[in-house]
Structure 1
């Protein structure tokens, strides 16, 4: 996704590409393939745009999520992590619990278990499937330390 596409997406949904939003998106583009907490995004955005504050980060992350530019991931009771939407195709992720590296999983398990949800009293409208573990680099570091 390039800046022009981002701008068009925001504009089509009634938003502008403000300096704060651009700085947030620049940070997320720099860390493409990783998930970042709002706090990490704040620290890195503040280096680029000093007028940024934490509430601005949260407000803009919510907007960017609503316009489908940012994906929010909840990791085992920790604070939410965020990443730039990598593509428009339906997919899921495997995420490293140490460094936040993420990788796309093209397989959707819902196709396999969909028959379980044919209950007439429940209509499935959405789902998320995320796997957590450790990337090879983090496993190697752990083995060297231990």
Structure 2
């Protein structure tokens, strides 16, 4: 499991600045790694924790963490855009019901089948698969 200093080391290795907002955001994401965190929650947290933080700074930092595959963006029905920590998790795909908004993490076996298909069909290997599937859960599919 990654800790704050591990993620900070990744930023340093890429010669990225360690601003107070970036440090606070990383810690907040680690503290909430099993949660889907809304943009509003992130903005409110950083507004309290870091003086003078603005929306564009929050967006830039979120985009950076997405680019580094530390977080993944999800668009959940009834909640909107939110973010999930994925850096040291094996599987980064979710199934989200378009009716009730239930989000389920995909399983490793499906990931392995998709990775094998990518290699067999396209010669592409060692994929870090990050996908979101939208559809209807068992409970909602008949409605």
TM-score by length of 2: 0.66
Q: Deviations over 1:24-72 (max 9, x none)?
A: 1122122221111222210112121132111111110001111222221
Matched-pair contact (CA < 8 Å) for 2:91–2:106? no
Residue 128 of structure 1 is aligned with which of 123, 126, 131?
A: 131
Q: C-alpha separation between the residues in 2 aligned to 1:128 and 1:93? A: 7
Matched-pair contact (CA < 8 Å) for 1:92–1:106? no
Matched-pair contact (CA < 8 Å) for 2:93–2:130? no
Q: Which runs of 4+ in 1 moved over 3 A?
A: 76-79, 93-98, 100-105, 112-115, 129-134
1:71 and 2:72 aligned:
yes
Structure 1 residues 1-146: aligned runs within 5 Å: 1-76=2-77, 79-93=80-94, 105-108=107-110, 111=113, 114=117, 118=121, 128-130=131-133
Structure 1 residues 81 and 103, CA gap change in structure 2 (3 angstroms): same
Matched-pair contact (CA < 8 Å) for 2:95–2:135? yes
Query: In the TM superposition, what is the alpha-carbon distance from 1:15 to its structure 2 partner?
Result: 0.6
Higher strand share goes to which structure?
2
Could you tell me which runs of 5 or more consecutive residues in structure 1 were left unpaired when the two chains were aligned. Answer: 135-146
Structure 1 residues 10 and 111, CA gap change in structure 2 (3 angstroms): same
Matched-pair contact (CA < 8 Å) for 2:92–2:105? no
TM-score by length of 1: 0.65
Could you tell me which runs of 5 or more consecutive residues in structure 2 were left unpaired when the two chains were aligned. Answer: 138-143
